[in-house]
Amino acid sequence: MTYTAAEGRYESMRFARCGRSGLRLPAISLGLWHNFGSVDSLENARAMLRQAFDLGVTHFDLANNYGPLPGSAEETLGRLLKSDFGAYRDEWVISTKAGYSMWPGPYGDWGSRKSLLASLDQSLRRMGLEYVDIFYSHRPDPETLLEETMGALASAVRAGKALYVGLSRYSPEDTVRAAKILHDLGAPCLIHQTRYHMFERTDEHGLLDTLAQEGIGCIVFSPLAQGLLTDRYLSGLPEDSRAVKSGVFLKPDQITPEKLEKVRALNRLAQARGQSLAQMALAWVLRRPEVTSVLVGASRPEQIADSVGALTYPAFSAEELAAIDAVTLG
Q: Does the structure show a pLDDT above 70 at 58?
A: yes
CATH class, domain 15-227+277-314, is: alpha beta
Smallest CA-to-CA distance from 128 within 78, 62, 76, 72 is with 78
- What's the pLDDT band for 162 if we cut at 50, 70, 90? very high
Q: How far is CA 182 from CA 75, 151, 214, in A?
A: 30, 7, 12
- 0.85 surpassed by pTM: yes
**For residue range 248-295, what is the model confidence (pLDDT) as tens digits?**
556 666 788 999 999 999 999 999 999 999 999 999 999 999 999 999
Q: Say how many CA atoms lie within 13 Å of 187 toward its Cβ.
A: 28
Rounded-to-integer distance, Cα 8 and Cα 213, Å: 36
Delimit the domains of the chain by residue range.
Answer: 15-227+277-314
Evaluate the omega torsion of the peptide bond into residue 69 and state whether it is cis, within 30 degrees of 0: yes
Residue 278's Cβ-count burial label (10 Å; 0-12, 13-18, 19+) is buried
- What's the pLDDT band for 330 if we cut at 50, 70, 90? confident
Mention every residue, 6+ apart, whose C-beta is less than 8 A from residue 97.
62, 63, 64, 135, 136, 137, 138, 168
Rounded-to-integer distance, Cα 26 and Cα 81, Å: 19
Residue 71 in contact with residue 121, Cβ under 8 Å?
Answer: no
Q: Does the structure show a pLDDT above 70 at 136?
A: yes
**For residue range 29-45, what is the model confidence (pLDDT) as tens digits?**
999 999 999 999 999 99
